[in-house]
Amino acid sequence: MSVIKTTALTAIAPAVWGTTYLVTSEYLPAGHPLFSGLVRALPAGLLALVLTRTLPTGAWWPKAALLGVLNIGAFFPLLFLTAYRLPGGVAATLNATQPIVVAILAVLLLSEALSWWRLGWGLIGVLGVALIVLTGSATLDGVGLLAGIGAAVSMATGVTLTKRWGRPEGVGAMAFAGWQLTAGGLFLLPITLLVEGVPDTITWSGIGGYLWLGLVGGLLTYTLWFSGIGRLPVTSAALLGLLSPIVAAGLGVVFLGQLLSGVQLVGFALALAAIAAGQFNPTRRAPTHRSGQPVDQLTDT
């Protein structure tokens, strides 16, 4: 599979995740971030296990459990809590810091040289997202801010470890996603029942929202995401995450009647430029074959 095709398929995941803000605020029961994370993760994970009939073996049991907690079990409720406690713009900006965290973790956990190019574009991407979504009237909530930072760090760590450990030979991306969705859901199950419980009422639109977030925003997107992480440089994959706030802002225009200012359009341009530029690393020279022709690589080592 070509790098362009891999990048395009991987980009579908964060683009779909950009619908989370709209679905959460407009359709899901308020005040239930743990339950929302649980319903998004566990049913989709169990469905993946049934479809693939593949379970972890050996050392992959603890690895899958840890990745499931980082990528799903901790990330989902922190993400929903951020969406509930903060304006969407502030939540999106905090989530946009993931590529910066990944760039640093790639040095610590993957022993990669720091890519100043991708780190710089990550900062530009955060600036672009901030211009798109932040307003002068945005209010800050301490719990929401901590949740947003925690979500970014949790997901960034999970993505980096996923790149470090790879995927077991012969295990498909859907099975790999199913392991993590199930582990994350099981992690959330007792916490949700003890702390939050089940919403008193769930409307049909709420059921539709949960189905969208679970089947499309969970099973499908994480299958594409974990497949892409295995093939793309981890920092460039993380920069694709900037698509989430871009899509979220676009949906606000289409469905909520929000208008974009000139400053926001500049933010769109910066964020899109960061995503595109982050897929390249001009400071890294491509290896060559004995014939002198460049050798295409899908991953950084």
Residue-wise pLDDT tens digits, 274-301? 999 888 877 655 444 444 444 444 444 3
User: What is the greatest pairwise CA distance in the chain?
Assistant: 68
Residue 156 and residue 67 in contact, taking contact as beta carbons nearer than 8 Å: no
Residue 54 and residue 172 in contact, taking contact as beta carbons nearer than 8 Å: yes
Give the tens place of pLDDT for each residue, 77-115. 887 778 777 766 677 778 788 888 898 998 899 888 878
CA torsion 255-259-262-267 (nearest 10°) is: -30
Q: Which two tokens stand for residue 60?
A: 């992959």
The secondary structure of residue 217, as a DSSP letter, is I
**Matching residue, tokens 């211009």:** 131
pLDDT confidence band for 139 (50 / 70 / 90): low
Helix axes of 33-52 and 75-85: crossing angle, nearest 10 degrees: 150
pTM score, whole prediction: 0.84
Give the tens place of pLDDT for each residue, 55-70. 999 999 999 999 999 9
Q: Which residues pair with 294 in a beta bridge?
A: 288
- Residues 42 and 47: their CA atoms lie apart, in Å, by 9
- Residues 68 and 193: their CA atoms lie apart, in Å, by 19
Q: Please tell me the predicted confidence (pLDDT) of residue 132.
A: 80
Q: Compute the average pLDDT of residues 39-50.
A: 95
Give the tens place of pLDDT for each residue, 213-246. 999 999 999 999 999 998 888 888 989 988 988 8
- List the one residue out of 226, 252, 222, 237 whose CA is nearest residue 91: 252
Q: Please tell me the predicted confidence (pLDDT) of residue 293.
A: 46
Map residue 288 onto helix, strand or coil: strand
Give the tens place of pLDDT for each residue, 83-92. 777 766 677 7
In degrees, to the nearest 5, what angle opens at C-alpha 51 toward C-alphas 45 and 52? 90
CA 260 to chain centre: 25
Map residue 294 onto helix, strand or coil: strand
**Matching residue, tokens 């992690």:** 187
pLDDT confidence band for 188 (50 / 70 / 90): very high
Does the structure show a pLDDT above 60 at 6? yes
Ordered by start, the domain boundaries in the chain are 3-277
- List the one residue out of 34, 30, 28 whose CA is nearest residue 190: 34
Give the tens place of pLDDT for each residue, 207-218. 999 999 999 999
Residue 82 and residue 148 in contact, taking contact as beta carbons nearer than 8 Å: yes
